[in-house]
Amino acid sequence: MATTTPRTKTFKSPAKTPTTNNIYRKSYQSPSLTPQTPQTITPLRRSARHVSRRIDLGNDPIDVPENESKEEMNLIRKRERAPPRKQSVDDVSESLKTPTKKTKVDSEVSFSPVSPNRREKRKNKSEEVKKTKTKKRVYYNRVEFDETGFEIGDDVYVKRREDANSDEEDPEIEDCKICFKSGGSDVMLECDDCLGGFHLKCLKPPLKDVPEGDWICQFCEVNKSGGGQSQTLVVPKPPEGKKLARTMREKLLSSDLWAARIEKLWKEVGDGVYWIRVRWYMIPEETVSGRQPHNLKRELYLTNDFADIEMDCVLRHCFVKCPKEFSKASNDGDDVFLCEYEYDVHWHSFKRLAELVDGDSDSDQEWNGRKEEEEIDDSDEEVEVEEDEESVVRGDSKGKRGLTSVKGGANSRKGRFFGLEKVGAKQIPEHVRCHKQTELEKAKATLLLATRPKSLPCRNREMEEITAFIKGSISDDQCLGRCMYIHGVPGTGKTISVLSVMKNLKAEVEAGNVNPYCFVEINGLKLASPENIYSVIYEALSGHRVGWKKALHSLNERFAEGKKIGKEDDKPCILLIDELDLLVTRNQSVLYNILDWPTKPNSKLIVLGIANTMDLPEKLLPRISSRMGIQRLCFGPYNHTQLQEIISTRLNGIDAFEKTAIEFASRKVAAISGDARRALEICRRAAEVADHRLKTNKTAKSQLVIMGDVEAAIQEMFQAPHIQVMKSVSKLSKIFLTAMVHELYKTGMAETTFDRVATTVSSICLTNGEAFPGWDILLKIGCDLGECRIILCEPGEKHRLQKLQLNFPSDDVAFALKENKDLPWLANYL
């Protein structure tokens, strides 16, 4: 999905819209001489078939051949205006000569979709519809509006707010993020992450050419990797007095603009106002799920939301492309977007677009040719959709339903007016924009294990060692193969350290300090069988998927004999194997092969193995440990100061935790395991507990996570659940347990028989005035407790002489049963 080449910013944008400024100029001020041809007048309620046929007849002036439309897609508008088209423009101007009141209302509606009294407006509009029924419309395939041609199927920016005019004098040329000068002759490079533009010469180090593959600017790089490097790059501030201009793309992505696809173009014959029916695009933030990590920056969703809007709202073209084209469109300027999925605004579901977007690039001829059938098909679909939709918004759709029935099935689409006002009505989901994340929520988000930290404190030494090892190996021309074994207890940052080292190395490769290499990362747990590692490696090197036997053969040729596979021929190869111990087979041949290759000349293979066990090499066959070499690196468990530092770096800038709370959590974890994952989980849980506490108890003065919350989280995590279970078992079970503890205490043995426990139960019951339940029930209770594994029963038949044993220390049982309201006398026996 990712673009293969970073796009270069070109400075076509001004050329694209030579009349950006007068796009808002009401164009009906220029009168025209050409009178309206009577043929073009169509009654409003014509079947779609009719309309399209009429378009096909050629009365419509536009007849765009394929290559021309392509050209248009590429934004090169150099064409001389053909005479027939002129006619259409003139149509516009002529018909707009006398604006009626009605259109003004309409335009208001469409201009301010988010205005609070939209309900009223909608009513207004639906009335409008009824009225306009009598009106006549002329449909076009292409309209020249303000010297820009708009066609069906084009994607356009649509004004969203009335006040969007305020920052109207858009410089359409994007400024360089470093020098804050636009344009020049220098090529601009776009960051794949923040979409900022950079002059090649402004970069550090300056680049000569546009690099291959993804390119991420230095700021994003630092933000992402953060890591062991102490360097911090400050994003340069714009020079004083210079307004930071936003391009339309930025506005769209911050939802100050809309993007839409033109579905239909028509002119109201009565007042001559040009209308378009648009299908909205949505930015990921506006969907119900918000922006997901997999969303690209330039990703949009095609919705099934339609609206009729006035042509005035249209700003200019943008280009929404399917992923395939998007990756190809490397030089198309700033207004290129990606759309891969369709979003259902009613059901909040996503669907992959199959051919829809491809349609855009098709010739108009084809589009028209297909149109007829499509229209019919579509309308059928639409009817269904509408019914679905009505069942959802049952309440306020009465008017619409009436309309539908009036219209009849064939072209029901036209009469529908859920559109602009709908989108306007749709609140942008709370959690995305309006709702400001509280500190606690931010803290919870950053403490998630899945969140990659910006920097890795406390592992500098290890990371330096890994970097030195890899660099030392690949910097030579010969690239002598080597192995390194990294071990340490879980949650000590082994994998993430290696990965961040690799990331830093990648940056150095791009800067040209280090030779390029190929990096293969394998997790032993993800392999179906240890042998599969061969095919995984082979696939990573050559791109072909083969069986492991063939892969082993080829890899042997590659590493042992120096033959080349794929295009990665003479690059050194770095192989990272996580959970190395899972590759140990019965005769350990997999490990042997992998560790034997680096000892071969010309192998250029560097193996990094990660596992928990410290003495894995010693457990292996001597021939393997001999080949594994002596490069070891140990990741020790974190101590409490380190854990504290890790948590506080993660929470950097978020004021959600009391310092003592963090310290408490880290000390507790450090005393038991030194596992950073644990510490983070405890803190996250503590934040949740605090969130709950603060929500239920509004009077709390401090909004911070306190020691008590951490304590509660630790209790949840470290305390075994058996106490809870014992507290909640039935009354008889409690008596049974008590009797058992008592019996064990009396005899001083580790185990007892059911027979004796039952006797004790009966005597206890007798003294405390409880009814003795009977042996059968008692036996059943014993079995139940045995199944909960609170007590351990001797396997085999359930009989009276069965041996029983407590699974937990008797202190735990005593602790669980002491505070008991129903049976206060139990404490006497414990």
Partner 1 sequence: MPAIAGPSSSPQKHVVGSRLEVTGGLRSAEVNTCRKRKLRSDSAAEVSSSTPVNSISTPMKWKSPRRCAVSIPKTSDEEIKEDSNGNLASPVISVVKNLDVCLDVESKWNPRDEEQMKAVKEALHVSKAPSTVVCREDEQRRVFEFVKGCMEQNKAGSLYICGCPGTGKSLSMEKVRQQAEDWAKQTGVPCLETVSVNCTSLTKSTDIFSKILGKNESGREANGSSPPLQQLQSLFSQKQQQSSSKMMLIIADEMDYLITRDRGVLHELFMLTTLPFSRCILIGVANAIDLADRFLPKLKSLNCKPLVVTFRAYSKEQILRILQERLVALPYVAFQSNALEICARKVSAASGDMRKALCVCRNALEILEIEARGSIDQEPQGPVPECQMVKMDHMLAALSKTFKSPVVDTIQSLPQHQQIIVCSAAKAFRGSKKDRTIAELNKLYLEICKSSTITPAGITEFTNMCTVLNDQGILKLSQARDDKLRRVSLRVDEADITFALKEIRFFRNCLL
- Out of 228, 598, 609, 782, the only residue in the binding site for partner 1 (CB under 8 A) is 598
Residue that has been written with the tokens 């279970």 in this structure: 725
Q: Which stretch binds partner 1 (CB under 8 A): 122-130, 156-164, 352-360, 592-600?
A: 592-600
Q: Which stretch binds partner 1 (CB under 8 A): 270-278, 367-375, 441-449, 476-484?
A: 476-484
- Closest distance to partner 1 from the beta carbon of 542 (Å): 18
- Out of 151, 808, 826, 830, the only residue in the binding site for partner 1 (CB under 8 A) is 808
- Out of 149, 153, 227, 481, the only residue in the binding site for partner 1 (CB under 8 A) is 481
DSSP code of residue 164: G
- Closest distance to partner 1 from the beta carbon of 541 (Å): 17
Alpha carbon distance 287, 152 (integer Å): 25
Closer to partner 1 by CB, 435 or 623: give it: 623
The four Cα atoms 667, 668, 670, 672 give a dihedral, to 10 degrees, of: 160
Residue 614 is a binding residue for partner 1 (CB under 8 A)? yes
Residue 609 is a binding residue for partner 1 (CB under 8 A)? no
Residue 680 is a binding residue for partner 1 (CB under 8 A)? no
Q: Which stretch binds partner 1 (CB under 8 A): 19-27, 164-172, 516-524, 600-608?
A: 600-608
Q: Which stretch binds partner 1 (CB under 8 A): 236-244, 621-629, 689-697, 728-736?
A: 621-629
Residue 727 is a binding residue for partner 1 (CB under 8 A)? no
Note whether 601 and 562 are within 8 A (CB).
yes
Residue 512 is a binding residue for partner 1 (CB under 8 A)? no
Residue 749 is a binding residue for partner 1 (CB under 8 A)? no
- Closest distance to partner 1 from the beta carbon of 724 (Å): 12
Exposure class string for 407-431: b at 16+ Cβ within 10 A, else e = beebbbbbbbbbbbbbbbebebbee
Beta strands in 113-168 (DSSP E): 136-140, 142-145, 148-151, 155-159
Closer to partner 1 by CB, 360 or 675: give it: 675
Residue 333 is a binding residue for partner 1 (CB under 8 A)? no
Note whether 690 and 709 are within 8 A (CB).
yes
- Out of 370, 600, 677, 803, the only residue in the binding site for partner 1 (CB under 8 A) is 600
Closer to partner 1 by CB, 300 or 555: give it: 555
Residue count of the chain, please give it.
830
- Out of 601, 724, 731, 767, the only residue in the binding site for partner 1 (CB under 8 A) is 601
Token pair for residue 555?
A: 């890899």
Collapsing DSSP to helix, strand or coil, 797 comes out as coil
List Cα–Cα distances, 735 to 359, 730, 790, 819, 830, in angstroms. Answer: 76, 9, 14, 13, 11
Residue 593 is a binding residue for partner 1 (CB under 8 A)? yes
Reduced 3-state DSSP string for 200-244: CCCCCCCCCCCCCCCCCCHHHHHHHHCCCCCCCCCCCCCCCCCCC
- Closest distance to partner 1 from the beta carbon of 353 (Å): 44
Q: Which stretch binds partner 1 (CB under 8 A): 255-263, 405-413, 441-449, 470-478?
A: 470-478
Residue 613 is a binding residue for partner 1 (CB under 8 A)? yes
Collapsing DSSP to helix, strand or coil, 652 comes out as coil
Residue 530 is a binding residue for partner 1 (CB under 8 A)? no
Residue 272 is a binding residue for partner 1 (CB under 8 A)? no
Q: Which stretch binds partner 1 (CB under 8 A): 286-294, 566-574, 681-689, 801-809?
A: 801-809
Alpha carbon distance 752, 746 (integer Å): 11
Closer to partner 1 by CB, 182 or 589: give it: 589
Residue 670 is a binding residue for partner 1 (CB under 8 A)? yes
AA identity, residue 402: G
**By C-alpha distance, which of 519, 482, 444 is closest to 687?**
444
- Closest distance to partner 1 from the beta carbon of 472 (Å): 7
805, β-bridge pairs = 751, 792
Residue 489 is a binding residue for partner 1 (CB under 8 A)? yes
Residue 495 is a binding residue for partner 1 (CB under 8 A)? no
**By C-alpha distance, which of 442, 435, 390 is closest to 416?**
390
Q: Which stretch binds partner 1 (CB under 8 A): 236-244, 403-411, 451-459, 671-679?
A: 671-679
Closer to partner 1 by CB, 240 or 615: give it: 615
DSSP code of residue 722: H
Token pair for residue 828?
A: 């006497």
- Out of 719, 747, 759, 763, the only residue in the binding site for partner 1 (CB under 8 A) is 719
Q: In what order do the strands lie in the sheet with 188-190?
A: 8-9, 188-190, 197-199
User: Is 534 buried (19+), middle (13-18) or exposed (0-12) by CB count in 10 A?
Assistant: buried
Closer to partner 1 by CB, 552 or 576: give it: 552
Q: Which stretch binds partner 1 (CB under 8 A): 13-21, 30-38, 108-116, 589-597?
A: 589-597
Alpha carbon distance 46, 240 (integer Å): 59
Cβ-based neighbour number of residue 706 at 10 Å: 18
Collapsing DSSP to helix, strand or coil, 351 comes out as strand
Residue 492 is a binding residue for partner 1 (CB under 8 A)? no
Residue 674 is a binding residue for partner 1 (CB under 8 A)? yes
Residues 537-576 that bind partner 1 (CB under 8 A): 548-549, 552-553, 556, 560
By CB under 8 A, the count of residues binding partner 1 is: 55
Residue 718 is a binding residue for partner 1 (CB under 8 A)? yes
DSSP code of residue 586: S
Question: What's phi and psi for 97, nearest 5 deg?
Answer: -60, -45
Exposure class string for 327-336: b at 16+ Cβ within 10 A, else e = bebeebbbbb
803 membership: H or E segment, kind and range: strand 803-806
- Closest distance to partner 1 from the beta carbon of 524 (Å): 15
Residue 30 is a binding residue for partner 1 (CB under 8 A)? no
Looking only at the bridges linking them, the beta strands covering 299-310 and 336-344 are: parallel
Sequence-distant (≥ 6) Cβ neighbours of residue 501 within 8 angstroms: 228, 463, 466, 467, 470
- Closest distance to partner 1 from the beta carbon of 589 (Å): 4
Q: Which stretch binds partner 1 (CB under 8 A): 29-37, 79-87, 715-723, 753-761?
A: 715-723
Residue 612 is a binding residue for partner 1 (CB under 8 A)? yes
Looking only at the bridges linking them, the beta strands covering 148-151 and 142-145 are: antiparallel
DSSP code of residue 530: T
Residues 625-644 that bind partner 1 (CB under 8 A): 625-627, 629-631, 634, 636-637, 639
How many contiguous H segments (helices) and E segments (strands) does the chain have?
31, 22
AA identity, residue 216: I
- Out of 490, 495, 732, 755, the only residue in the binding site for partner 1 (CB under 8 A) is 490
Alpha carbon distance 141, 264 (integer Å): 8
Interaction site with partner 1 (CB under 8 A): 468, 472, 476-478, 480-481, 489-490, 548-549, 552-553, 556, 560, 587, 589, 592-593, 596, 598-603, 612-615, 618, 621-623, 625-627, 629-631, 634, 636-637, 639, 670-674, 718-720, 807-809
